[in-house]
Structure 1
Amino acid sequence: MLQFNANQLGSVLLKLQHDGFSGVAYVEVQVSEPKLRRPRVLSFFKGELTYAGLYLPEPYELSQKLGKKFKLQIMDAALQLASRKVADQSSIRQYLDLFIRLELFKWQDVESFIRNQIVLTLEEILPYAGQLKCNSSVMVDLTYGEDNHGFRWQQLEDDLAQRRRGWAGLLPAIASRNSIPHRISAAQQTISDPWVQQHLHQWIDGQRTLGEIADGIGRDPLELAHSYAHYVQMGWLTFRPDKKQDTPINLSSPITMPSKPVAAPARQQVRTILSVDDSPVVQTMIKRIVDDRYNLLLADNAMDALNLLNRENIDLLLLDVTMPDIDGLELCRTIRKINKFRELPVIMLTAKDGMFNKIKGQMAGSTHYLTKPIDRQKLMEVLNRYIPDTVMS
């Protein structure tokens, strides 16, 4: 058993990495909140993290999650095929190998999904002291790529550091994912957006933490927090001190609230891009490409995109062609009918590389056209052409 102090779990994970530990580790943190007291399970292969969550993953359940995340309508049929073709029904790796051969997704898609889950799990428990119990006799059959790799602590630490900067940008209004939002009753009648009204009525009860709400609606708590920061500025919400609330992040320099709501750390004089895509894999890729140079807002459907366009000063729109309900072409045609958006650069993204689709995009009013998978250099060239990034102040 390994004991660790508050904010020292990372050092323990680094030690396991150096030792080349393979197996499972159970993490318990010392906190009063019952939900956080539930042990987290971390799986390792040769010192690298391969999974983190409340439970050990099972092939069928993990496959269903991937199918839901990537909106694969044929996943049920693929699982039936796997039940006949996979020799070891307890092997996650054999399931994933089959699905990748069927081209349902790629290894980098699976990695991105699991890496995000690991980061969210660690973010929840890292601030606390606790204990970690290692068991090398239990192995999780989950690794990535042909070389069977996992995630090194340094990779995850970079992701966590970026998220800490994001949370710091929300101080003093929101301290952490464990802050509890409260509705300001007198201001509810001033909310004109029906979706916001319904969301606040359904989820803001003065009991749920921001993280619990994010889990309930399937959102990244940091992204949800940036939306709530806007609601705080509008006078619709407040975050009062509560026994569930964490101590704010300790930084040497004072942090002030951003001047406007964003889905990434607020930065002065930086152009704002709205990326609309229902694929979390694509959104993660775009975030990694542009997040250090542009202010990035994210939406996974047309209605949320329209709300953001109406509330924010958007300099460029990245728009996926194929989305449920209202597709990218229809959304582009809709916003081109609005005077303030007629000159807005709209870059269409699609997996279909054909002249017909390009023509349809042009007819809908798109400014430029890029195909998936996204090429970093091509994307940056297009962004620099239409919205050169500004010098940070």
Structure 2
Amino acid sequence: MQGNLNEIDIRSILQLIELGQRTGQLFVETHSDYKCSGLCVDETDRHNDCSDRHCWFIFFLNGQIIYAANGDNSLSRLSDYLRHYQIQVQLDEREVEHLKTLNALEYAYLWMLLEQNILNPIQARSIIHSLVYETLFDLLNLQQGNFIFEVSSALAPQLTTLEIAPALTEMIKQVQSWKLLYPHIQTPDQIPVIADIVNLRNSLPAVTINKLQHWADGKTSLRQLARYLNRDLVTLAKAIHPYIQQGWVQLLTNKSKKTLDLEENRKRCILCIDDAITICTVVKSILSNLDYEVITQSNPLEALSLIFKLKPDLILCDITMPDLNGYEICAMLRHSQAFRQVPIIMLTAKEGFFDRVKAKMVGATDYLTKPFGNNELVILVEKYLSPFCIKSNKRDTPLVDSVKDRVKILSQN
């Protein structure tokens, strides 16, 4: 049995296999959206060629599912599930090649873990069920592609079987729920990152914030996160959906993540607007030593046009200036869509409640009283710009440590 998904859908194919109590394997691949659109028929070619396409395998015994795999024929997917049980995949190339000759690589590795008593049967069954449901979720979302079902001997040995009808019913509900999250959430491969930590802290318990900061690291996709936590993808997506709607959490694609990585590698630009040349000089001296690009401007009118040209990552703005004061500059910028989220820190020689309230009313992010110390300036700037991480072989130093190190650097200068 083979054909095109434009002619028959995945649901009907699986129902036919169940009705006929077939034993064998179903191979499905997408076409047109991927580099290679031809249907692989030869088993060796399938495993060799699926790296540049999207393809899946489902293995059956008497009309029931015993296992499902994606086409990359690696242990990366299984490694994510094993992480939940604090088990790491450790194989050299020779062991991987040997397991490939036995049967599906993931399946063979699972059995090896069982035989070595590293994984127990309940854990292994749970992982297989998750792999099957994940595969069904992907296939039920497909709009086009090719398939072929081959009658063959069953994958052995068997650890578990799943009836097709109840599995289909459950996954169809999952797919329907998933579609309701569109357009905020579109694919399982999107990567959550925190976009507005201030609003999150004001609205959520500290425990929830800590979890979000741990997992929304800009590296882990929604699908990986569901695997790590041993939760189904849709439940996880529903939990994070409200924060995405608010704009407090954003989702990156792999392409946008690469752009973000390039963005993070560039120097952060800070514009300091103050009619006092001395303040501009001090700010530039302090922050330039910490690898920021610092631009200063003593003329507030010229500064306004400079802002739209530079698009700085953070603005330090004096309140009391001739021609145009800091309140007016801040209010103007907040009316522009491009600068609504840019941190604006007001600088003033006054320490008064009224000035702070007025600064907040025009949209200022924070407030710094002159004269200020080096430490005060550094900590406030670091609070609103992306954390500076000191790379080591073991970990990335968190923000609190990086600020201490920066202050220490300043004290040595």
TM-score bracket, normalised by the shorter chain, equals: 0.3 to 0.5
TM-score (norm 2): 0.41
Which has the larger share of helix? 2
Larger RCO, structure (CA 8 Å, separation 6 or more): 1
TM-score (norm 1): 0.42
Q: Decide which structure has the larger Cα Rg and report it.
A: 2
